[in-house]
Amino acid sequence: MFCDQCGEKLQANQSFCSRCGREVIGVIPGYPRRSRVQEHVRLLAILWFALSALHVLGGVILVILANTLFLHLHDMGAPEAPTAFLHPLLTFVGFFILAKAAAGFAAGWGLLQREPWARVLALILAFLDLINVPLGTALGVYTLWVLLPAQSEEDYEKYLGAAA
């Protein structure tokens, strides 16, 4: 523990700072301070569920459009050669978005269940979602802020231990 005013290292039972004389206001017994990971992991899981639900919606719409409208563009008068790649491309992108949504649901569920693998999965998805402006970028930055620092790994391990 350190003094809030001067930064002097304090002993566990010290009531006043030996350097500046400020009264030490410690942690209330019985109420341990929660780490950043403990405070934010539930909200992080809920946000991953919400973003994944939006991804499912977008992925399903894209797959439906790719297999209806873009499959028959040449029947509507569009030249076949330039539009022939749209059907497979949009189908692939749609299924990729659906797979990412499934991984987002898994990350959210894993964070709520305090699974050890959920932190790594959430970090991978956060990096992938940084290019998904604006919601994916916001959630990606928030996930990285909560789970990426070196201290966060230790806090997450303690958080897992508290659940057991």
9: helix, strand or coil: strand
Note the pLDDT of residue 92: 96
Closest to 36 in 3D by CA, of 159, 120, 164? 159
Note the pLDDT of residue 34: 61
Query: What are residue 26's phi and psi, to 5 degrees?
Result: -95, -170
The gap from C-alpha 33 to its chain's centroid, in whole angstroms, comes to 23
Better pLDDT: 129 or 81 = 129
Q: Distance (Å, rounded) from C-alpha 136 to C-alpha 126?
A: 8
Note the pLDDT of residue 28: 44
Q: Is the pLDDT of residue 131 over 50?
A: yes
Note the pLDDT of residue 143: 96
Note the pLDDT of residue 4: 66
Task: Return the minimum-mean-pLDDT range out of 79-83, 118-122, 130-134, 147-151.
Answer: 79-83
